Structure 1
C-alpha cells in the first residue's frame, strides 16, 4: 500500500452507512488474503481505508462482530451467485449440479474466505446461522430431483442433502489445504457424488 496517500476524507453527513459498507468490503479483501480471522486487526482495516481506527469502532464493537458481518455479506453474495447458476438450468438434476459446481468455483476464487467461514476458530465459537440458508436450498434442490422422479424418492431429502454437502465440503477443504495434490477435475468428483449419494444421472441434465 502507498503509505504516502492522503487520508480518506470524511463522508458527507448522513452517509455513515457508506463507510460501514467500505469497512466490510475492505475486510472481505483482507480476510480473503489472510485466510485467518485471528490475523486480522481493526487497525489493519483502518489502514486499508486510510481512516482512523476509531472510525471502525463506531460501527463494529470488536473484531468478531466485524468478521461475522463480513462473512454474512460474503455468504449472501455467494447465495446470489449460486441461485443464478441454478436458474440458468432447466431440469432439476442440472440445477442441483450447477449449485454444487458454482460453490466449487467460488471457493477456488476465494479460498481465504472459505477457510475463515468454515475452518476458523470463530466458526467454532460463534453462531453463523446465515449458513443454514445454503443447506436449506440444497435440500430443496435434492427434493425437486425426487419429485421429478429422477432420484430415489424413498430417501429423506434432508439426509441426502447432508451427505452430499459433507462430501462436497470435504473435497473442497482438501483442495484448499492441499493445492499441490494432483486432484481429478472437480466436475468429475461432483458427478460421482451426485450419482452415488443422490442417485441421479448427471448425464440426464438438459441445461
Structure 2
C-alpha cells in the first residue's frame, strides 16, 4: 500500500492538469471493467493512478463529480471518432452510416462504459446535457440525407430517434444475450438505415476506419410504405 502511494513523485508546478487527465483515464478503465459507477471508489482510482486518495479529491469533490467528468471525456472521444469516420465518407448517406457504425461498434466493445453512460443515476443531472449532442448530430446527419435526396423527406428528428432506438436496442440485446446467433453488426445497422431512414445509398466506411467490421453489402432499399 505504501509502495503505491509513494511510487509517484509530486507533479511539478503547472502539471496538475496532467494528473487530472490521468485520473480520468484510470476511471475510464475502471468503469469499463465494473459497468457500474456505484461500485467505483475514489481509493480504487487513486491506487490505479499511483497517488494518495487526497490527490484525487483535490481535483474532484466527490465520486459523482469524477464520474461526470469521465463520462464527458468518454462522450467527447466518441463524438470525435464519429466525426472523423463521417469525414471520410463521400456523401451524406455514407457519412450517416459511418457515424452510426462507430457508435454501434464502440458500444459493443465497451459494454461497461456503455452501461454507465446510459444507466448511471448521474445521467439525470442537468450537467449531463452533453448527451443531447449525439441526438443532435444524428438528426443533422439524417436531415442531410433527406436534403440530398438520398432518403425520403420527413421529420428528421423522429427518424433519427427511431434509428438511435434501434441501434441501442441491438447493442443492449447483444450484451444481454450474447449466446444468440447474431449477424455482423454492420449488416444489422445497414438494415436499420435502409428500413428506418430509407437510405437509397450507403457508402461503405473507409477501409482505414478502425471501427469498421468486415464489409457486408447493404440490402436493397425499401420502395414503398416508408413514410
Contact 2:105–2:185 (CA<8 Å) still a contact in 1? Answer: no
Structure-2 residue corresponding to 1:189:
188
Deviations 1:65-122 (A, max 9, x none): 1001001001100011001111110011111111111112212221111110012333
Residues matched between the structures, number: 203
Q: Which moved more, 1:86-95 or 1:5-14?
A: 5-14
Contact 2:82–2:99 (CA<8 Å) still a contact in 1? Answer: yes
> TM-score, with normalisation over the residues of structure 2?
0.84
Q: Could you tell me how far 1:182 is from its partner in structure 2? A: 1.7
Deviations 1:36-81 (A, max 9, x none): 1011000100111121111111110110110010010011000110
Deviations 1:162-189 (A, max 9, x none): 1111111111111122222221221221
Structure-2 residue corresponding to 1:108:
108
Query: What is the distance in 2 between the residues matched to 1:3 and 1:40?
Result: 21
Contact 1:90–1:206 (CA<8 Å) still a contact in 2? Answer: no
Instruction: Extract unaligned runs of 5+ from structure 2.
Output: 206-227
* Match of residue 205, structure 1, among 203, 206, 211: 203
**3-state SS of paired residue (1:51):** coil
Q: Going by fraction, where is helix more abundant, 1 or 2? A: 1
Instruction: Extract unaligned runs of 5+ from structure 1.
Output: none
> TM-score, with normalisation over the residues of structure 1?
0.92
Q: Could you tell me how far 1:3 is from its partner in structure 2? A: 8.2
Q: Could you tell me how far 1:136 is from its partner in structure 2? A: 0.7
- The alignment yields a C-alpha RMSD, in angstroms, of 1.7
Query: What is the distance in 1 between the residues matched to 2:90 and 2:187?
Result: 21
Contact 1:81–1:102 (CA<8 Å) still a contact in 2? Answer: yes
Judged with a 3 Å threshold, the aligned counterparts in structure 2 of structure 1 residues 206 and 18 are, in CA distance, closer, same or farther, namely closer
Taking the TM superposition and a 5 Å limit, the aligned residue runs for 1:34-45 are 34-45=34-45
